[in-house]
Amino acid sequence: MLTEQRAEAAPREPATPTVDRRLLRRQRRSRWDLKVSPYLYVSPFFVLFGIVGLYPLVYTVFLSVHDWDRLYYRRGGFNGWANYDFVLHDPVFQKALVNTFSIFLMSSVPQIVLAVVIAALLDGQLRGRTFWRMSVLLPFAVVPAAAVLIFGSLLADRSGLVNQVLAQIGDWPVLHQLGIGPVAWHDHRWWSHFAIAGMVNWRWTGYNALIFLAAMQAVPRDLYESAALDGGGKIRQFWSVTLPMIRPTMVFVIVTSTIGGLQIFTEPRLFDDTPNREGGADHEFMTSTLYIYVKGIEDQFYGRASAAAVILFVIIVAIALLNFGLTRFLTRRAEK
């Protein structure tokens, strides 16, 4: 609306013919500049994204309906649904899917609850505000690969500090009856999920807390005042004012943590202490991304790996749509 009018408002009556031609050329160039520039500016993104983002996705679909020659790393013939058939009936894939969701739930739910609590703690007239904010973000600055190695040593099944402590306090009278003792962090399926989710939570809770904190600070303060007038305590205010007001942010965090949570790879790969590194001896903590890596890059079943990727893609898109619907539902309700 702004620039088009400007361009047309360029002088129309030139003083001399030479100036006229020059001006005309300039005007034409300017017009062309105006028309083409926006496309020029956005095109690098679309071209690059097309090559390294979109094209590989399309190629995934293509590979997923073809054979792959493992010995010579060449594409084989078209084989229809065979890869999909294999993956869908592969118990390891099913297991990986369940693991992925289990780890995802164990990480996102406590993470969001904790993040909201930490945000509420930070949302006040704290002394040394920046210090506290930066401190909760500290784990975000640790390379995950390093973090997994550190947690791996803490959670080693026999020699790890955590199990040594558990063994110690497991000898105490009451705790002994409660069955507290060392935990098979690697061998036991759900405990291994718990361990991996713990690492994910450690990295992301502070980050999400800051996002919630931003949302909380955007809450108009007169809402608190009127709640206070109604005689609500701090906890009540939190439930009746803060939580409803940060609901859109909540959805945003849930969406981003869904996309991230369904792609966990570093943790299960580096947490593994078996030589095959396929998510434990019994694939007890193999995730679907790890499945794609093992099937594709390590075992060289490109077709099957691609089919698994397509299936996962569909699942993620479905969840994203669900999230989207949920967001609209929630924001509409909030508007009412």
**Residue list 52-81, contact with another protein (CB under 8 A):** 52-60, 62-63, 71-74
Taking CB under 8 A as the rule, does residue 179 contact another protein? no
Among 16, 17, 41, 179, binds another protein (CB under 8 A): 41
Among 16, 18, 130, 177, binds another protein (CB under 8 A): 130
Residue type, position 101, single letter: F
Residue 165 tokens, joined: 């402590």
| Binding-site size, another protein (CB under 8 A) | 131
Q: How far apart are CA 81 and CA 99, in angstroms?
A: 25
In contact, 214 and 197? CB cutoff 8 Å: no
Taking CB under 8 A as the rule, does residue 31 contact another protein? no
Residue 119 tokens, joined: 């945000």
Taking CB under 8 A as the rule, does residue 84 contact another protein? no
Question: What residues from 265 to 304 belong to the interface with another protein (CB under 8 A)?
Answer: 265-266, 269-270, 273-277, 281-282, 289, 292-293, 296-300, 302
Q: Is 175 exposed, middle or buried (0-12, 13-18, 19+ CB in 10 A)?
A: middle
> What is the nearest approach in angstroms of another protein to the Cβ of residue 76?
14
Among 156, 166, 180, 245, binds another protein (CB under 8 A): 156
In contact, 265 and 243? CB cutoff 8 Å: no
Q: How far apart are CA 154 and CA 163, in angstroms?
A: 8
Residue type, position 258, single letter: T
Beta carbons within 10 angstroms of residue 66's beta carbon: 17
Residue 294 tokens, joined: 């093992």
Q: How far apart are CA 277 and CA 272, in angstroms?
A: 6
What lies within 8 Å, CB to CB, of 319 at 6+ separation is 258, 262
Residue type, position 318, single letter: A
Residue 64 tokens, joined: 């997923």
Question: What residues from 110 to 129 belong to the interface with another protein (CB under 8 A)?
Answer: 118, 121-126
Of 84 and 302, CB closest to another protein: 302
Among 144, 185, 192, 279, binds another protein (CB under 8 A): 144
Taking CB under 8 A as the rule, does residue 330 contact another protein? no
> What is the nearest approach in angstroms of another protein to the Cβ of residue 187?
5
> What is the nearest approach in angstroms of another protein to the Cβ of residue 183?
14
Taking CB under 8 A as the rule, does residue 23 contact another protein? no
Q: Kindly write out the interface string for residues 226-265 of this chain, putting x where it contacts another protein by CB under 8 A and - elsewhere.
A: --x-----x--------------x--x--x---x--xx-x
What lies within 8 Å, CB to CB, of 269 at 6+ separation is 277, 279, 290, 293
> What is the nearest approach in angstroms of another protein to the Cβ of residue 277?
8
Of 177 and 331, CB closest to another protein: 331
